[in-house]
Amino acid sequence: MANSVTKNLARPLYEGTFSVGLDKKFNRIDREDPPAKGALKISLNPFLIESGDKYILFDVGIGDFGEDTSTETIKENLSAHGLTEYDITDIFLSHLHYDHLGGLAGRGSGYWELTFPDAKLWVSGQGWADVMAKEEFYDEEKTAFAHFLDAKADLHFLDEEDQPYPEVSVKTIGGHTKYSQLLAFDDGKQKYLMAGDVLANRGEVNRTFEAKYDVDPKRSMKMRNQITRKAYEEDFAIMGYHDSHHSIFKLTDYDEQQGYKIEPVA
């Protein structure tokens, strides 16, 4: 197993920035460019954490499901840290949208193959059951993808509150999806929180808003407030999966008028 990653240091595996319109297609744009008119600007950052003999991913990117994207991107990003896809031991998913789980399998060879064949895949048990109960998961291609994972991935189902490892805990928070999860890493030295789209980037920290893309916008707003308070009071760094420039950051001060002071983590 590779050993060149700094011990217990989280790394974003930036996959790119995209313009996403009503058609839900992820069209690649430059990190500095604005999105198309009426579209959202969304960056994708799976996160890598080394913990002892474990190499953990929090979400895995879009895989083959974007325009000009593939599972090769996350493999190349791992290679930049001296790792291969075979080094990944555990994968935790914040929720089951394809821009967060698409990197789990690809069809570069013409048929579905697991990207991380030796990894345990940790998902919300209720969330996965909900996906499997659907007649169609987005479309025909993604439905085949989900059923392939159900048959071939080393699936481990998480309860609403769970702690599969001493340093990793999860909690169902809902909001963005019914079973969205807060992923937490705390080894006593370094502490990270990742909430998927409930708290997706630095720009959401000091905003009070209800998002149309959430299943339960009011709950997301409530959870966002709780997560930022927890991060500040308990000294967690926040992982912003959709942040374009500084996807790991800390809240270092608080003012009632101006809100939290945000500092990127190098």
Name beta bridge partners: 248. 239
Parent domain of 46: 11-264
Is residue 224 domain-resident? Answer: yes
Tokens, residue 138: 């987005």
SS3 content of the chain, % helix, strand, coil (to 5): 25, 30, 45
Q: What is the mean pLDDT of residues 77-96?
A: 98
Residue 4 lies in a domain: no
Residue with tokens 């008119």: 37
Kindly tell me if the per-residue pLDDT of 9 is higher than 50. Answer: yes
Residue 5 clears pLDDT 70, i.e. is over it: no
Cα first-last separation, the chain: 25
36 in any annotated domain? yes
* Dihedral Cα 163, 239, 228, 182, nearest 10 deg: -30
5 domain residue, yes or no: no
pLDDT in tens, 52-66: 999 999 999 999 999
Asked whether residue 2 is assigned to any structural domain, the reply reads no
* Tens digit of each residue's pLDDT (9 = 90 or more) over 236-263: 999 999 999 999 999 999 999 999 999 9
CA distances from 187 to 9, 51, 87, 118, 192 (A): 11, 8, 20, 23, 10
pLDDT digits (tens, 9 = 90+) for 151-188: 999 999 999 999 999 999 999 999 999 999 999 999 99
User: What is the domain-level CATH number for residue 24?
Assistant: 3.60.15.10
Identify whether the C-beta of residue 229 lies closer than 8 Å to the C-beta of residue 261.
Answer: no
Q: How far apart are CA 104 and CA 6, in angstroms?
A: 24
Minimal CA–CA distance to 63: which of 116, 23, 140? Answer: 116
